[in-house]
Amino acid sequence: MTSNAEIAKAMAENMTHAAVPLYGKKLRLPDRGAIIGIIKEFRRLLFPAYFGDAQLMALPPENYAALLLERIETALTAQVALALPEDQAFAAAALTHEILEQLPRIQQTLMTDIEATFDGDPAAADKEEIIFAYPGLFAIFVYRIAHELYLRQVPMIPRMMTEYAHSRTGIDIHPGAQIGPWFFIDHGTGIVIGETTVIGSHVKLYQGVTLGGTGKDCGKRHPTLGNNVLVGCGAKVLGPLTIADNCKIAAGAIVLTDIPDNCTAVGVPAKVVRRDNLRVDDLDQIHIPDPVDRELSALRTELKTLSARLQELEKTKKNESEGE
């Protein structure tokens, strides 16, 4: 049996030679609990009737907002200072105030996201339900705050924020993605939106959608979606391609090439079957080509050919043996 002393010695060896710092001086890092608390404060500020303090809402709205802004500014400045290199911590207050200046615009954009959700989801009883209960809106709200920190190159915190939303909703939006207004995530579980993704306005994503990379590209490596685009559940859009305006991507499709304006694409790999509301191919969603079946069919044909060749060789060998 290995003694605790031997285990400790092996672990100390790992700590000493690890590629990342594991022991010694404690790193200056933002506090996860504090970041979650700041997200909740932002939500109280942006949606006070749903998440605010009833006693504070006895104040006039501008006084309520001023009080919450002061609390957020103090807490966020402290965390930004921890995230920045020590010799740049002095910039934390200015960076935090820049982010707070964006809040009226963020709040207006979130109102468009709520409208898009209500218009796009027949199951939504009212907008209040969307604000209070919809995971898609929560993930979008957190993303829109985190994106402002990302744009100002604040380390660590943007990803901590969106990963908190990911852990709560199953929706993974990188804070670097660029997402326009009127954005609707339906259901949401399993959605992944990569760092260099660009999304226009009035875009709707269903559960299980991936806007991802191929692993082969650098720089711009994720898709660009135009305006009025719908991506069905489980669809994968991979690489720095463009899905232009007014397009629909069918459930389960895998898109690897650009899709022009006003098109519907289905299948694996995705193929345009409608353009400008006219069918351009006999393919429909009931008869999507199955690449696995095609491969199996090719293998069966090859097996038949090889079997016939083997029989021919065996027959030739038998004739030669009888001739001897």
Q: What is the CA radius of gyration of the chain?
A: 28
What integer pLDDT is reported at residue 185 of this predicted model?
A: 97
Contact 270, 253 (CB under 8 A): yes
- Percent of the chain at pLDDT exceeding 90: 76
DSSP letter string over 112-133? HHHHHHHHH-TT---HHHHHHH
Query: 238: pLDDT confidence band, cut at 50, 70 and 90?
Result: very high
Average predicted confidence (pLDDT) for the chain: 93
* Long-range contacts of 284-290, Cβ-Cβ distance < 8 Å, separation of 24 or more: 285/250, 285/251, 288/250, 288/252
What is the pLDDT averaged over residues 194-213?
97
* Long-range contacts of 251-258, Cβ-Cβ distance < 8 Å, separation of 24 or more: 251/206, 251/285, 252/288, 255/223
CATH class of 22-172: mainly alpha
Task: Pick left, alpha or beta for residue 219 (phi over 0 → left; psi -120 to 50 → alpha; otherwise beta).
Answer: left
- In sequence order, the 6+-apart residues with CB closer than 8 A to the CB of 123 are none
Nearest residue to 295 (alpha-carbon basis) of 283, 303, 305: 303
Fold match between 22-172 and 177-309? no
What integer pLDDT is reported at residue 308 of this predicted model?
A: 87
Range in 236-245, 248-257, 286-295 with the lowest mean pLDDT: 286-295
Q: What CATH architecture does domain 177-309 belong to?
A: 3 Solenoid (2.160)
| Token duo for residue 192 | 């992944």
Say what the alpha-carbon torsion angle 69, 35, 177, 148 is, to the nearest 10 degrees: 30
Between the alpha carbon of residue 26 and those of residues 10, 29, 294, the distances in Å are 21, 9, 57
What integer pLDDT is reported at residue 324 of this predicted model?
A: 64
Task: Report how far Cα 7 is from the mean position of its chain's Cα atoms.
Answer: 40
Nearest-angstrom CA–CA distance, 224 and 258: 9
Nearest residue to 27 (alpha-carbon basis) of 92, 95, 75, 86: 86
Query: 321: pLDDT confidence band, cut at 50, 70 and 90?
Result: confident
Please give the order of strands across the beta sheet that includes 172-173. Answer: 172-173, 192-193, 210-212, 236-238, 254-255
Between the alpha carbon of residue 305 and those of residues 126, 193, 296, the distances in Å are 63, 46, 14
Nearest-angstrom CA–CA distance, 117 and 268: 29
- Percent of the chain at pLDDT exceeding 70: 97
What is the pLDDT averaged over residues 3-12?
94
pTM over the 0.75 mark: yes
How many Cβ atoms are within 10 Å of 196's Cβ, its own excluded? 19
User: What are the structural domain ranges in the chain?
Assistant: 22-172, 177-309
Say yes or no to pLDDT of 236 above 90.
Answer: yes
SS3 213: coil
The span from the first CA to the last CA of the chain, in angstroms, equals: 71
Between 69 and 282, residue with greater pLDDT:
69
What integer pLDDT is reported at residue 257 of this predicted model?
A: 95
For the segment 269-301, what is each residue's pLDDT rounded down to a tens digit? Answer: 999 999 988 888 655 555 566 777 788 888 888
What is the pLDDT averaged over residues 100-125?
96
What integer pLDDT is reported at residue 288 of this predicted model?
A: 60
For the segment 134-154, what is each residue's pLDDT rounded down to a tens digit? Answer: 999 999 999 999 999 999 999
